[in-house]
Structure 1
């Protein structure tokens, strides 16, 4: 009923003030150091709203940037990870994969040119995963944004693409074994600590993960 007679600008102002007040309350308690988001549900969202799949993916990026990322930064969370593209996603239709690659390139370059949020919060951006599987043009965009933010040290944003947790664990075990062989310790027993030291997020300087959120709300 309120929206029938309250001007939109006043509704937006009230919403912004409410959000600010809520953030102050949340910031008063223990703040997690690392929060991760599984960016799924974009296709379901598009179908539910009679939109093209690419529109769903594009709006998912906007939600990440304007809502999750900014709110987390204002709360003082040190590190944010977004699982945005699985290695398994390459099995989707060529058209959808090409759309996702084009969107990734576009948004990475956009961060380079209009990265106000990264600059405001001094965020270093890492792209984590099997980046060699990405088209060369996307790899070039990855290198550009990583180089641009390399010396930002207040917060970290990890974009995990193309990524799978099983692949990361297998890669970490292989790296731990290789390290033991290189230092000449063939009898070394690989421990959880060794594997953890070679995880992609650890190598990127990220603290241990505290909270994992699926944006679609789906439970698996």
Structure 2
């Protein structure tokens, strides 16, 4: 009896949430929608400690939050979503945590690319951005398969940054431009910031400039994430919520702040 009542209650809650989501998305999408939102998904470990969970369970809940936010962004019409999944510096964490994270990445990438999943449903191209050669060989193989399976999708983009730092990204782009000069395809005196930008993995993957960057957990720093991409006209939001708890109610004020900016500040600038 109790099980049946609980199942009915769960179904009712899901129904109400989906109705609320549809109405909210409809209202928000009536205004200007950002093209590119980037997330620093911070607070998984502190969330796990708060809820007396294992660290890997906190990371697993964090992935579900990513899936939830990706769904919201895609319904809203956001063209590109970028997430900071794993820093190069994270390899300094305990071998047990790193191994658990790599296993989770492997499993969840496979899930994301299954037929009928979010990427397939919304026509999303997946780009894994970072020093991929540092990943275990089995994870590298899954990354290749995931990118290949979604390469034909052209409705939206998901950038998963792992293992990534912005300094490494800029160094790699600079090396690519230097190679053009060595090969005689570019004059060293003609190098501009646009040449560097054009060789950023985000640009190579077709991403638009970042309109909004959100970092959860209350920490107010960028942690070597997209330093080049957020240097011009990007709204940055530092929110106290741990990433696994991040949900639609936290996203609404972020979108409204962006729309206020478009409606008030930018017209004056023009």
The TM-score with structure 2 as length reference comes to 0.75
Matched residue SS, 1:188:
helix
Query: Is the Cα–Cα contact under 8 Å of residues 180 and 188 in structure 1 kept in the other structure?
Result: no
TM-score by length of structure 1 reads 0.91
For residue 113 of structure 1, give the secondary structure of its aligned residue in structure 2.
Answer: coil
Per the alignment, residue 166 of structure 1 pairs with: 167
Q: Structure 2: which 5+ residue stretches go unaligned?
A: 1-7, 222-270
CA distances 1:158-192 after superposition (whole Å, capped 9, x unpaired): 11100001111111122122223323544424321
Kept after mapping to 2: 8 A contact 1:177/1:190: no
In the TM superposition, what are the counterparts of 1:11-160 in structure 2 within 5 Å? 11-65=13-67, 67-113=68-114, 116-160=117-161
Following superposition, the deviation at residue 113 of structure 1 comes to: 3.2
Corresponding residue for residue 214 of structure 1: 215
Question: How large is the Cα RMSD of the aligned pairs?
Answer: 1.7
Residue 16 of structure 1, CA deviation: 2.1
- Contact 1:37/1:81, CA 8 A, preserved across alignment: yes
Measured after TM superposition, the shift of residue 7 of structure 1 is 4.5
CA contact (8 A) 2:130 2:162 kept: yes
CA–CA distance in 2 between the matches of 1:98 and 1:88?
A: 14
| 1:77 counterpart SS class | coil
Q: Is contact 2:111-2:117 (8 Å) kept?
A: no
Answer whether contact 2:79 2:155 (CA < 8 A) is retained: yes
Aligned residues between the structures: 214
**Equivalent residue of 2:157, what SS?**
strand
Runs of 4 or more, structure 1, over 4 Å off, are: none
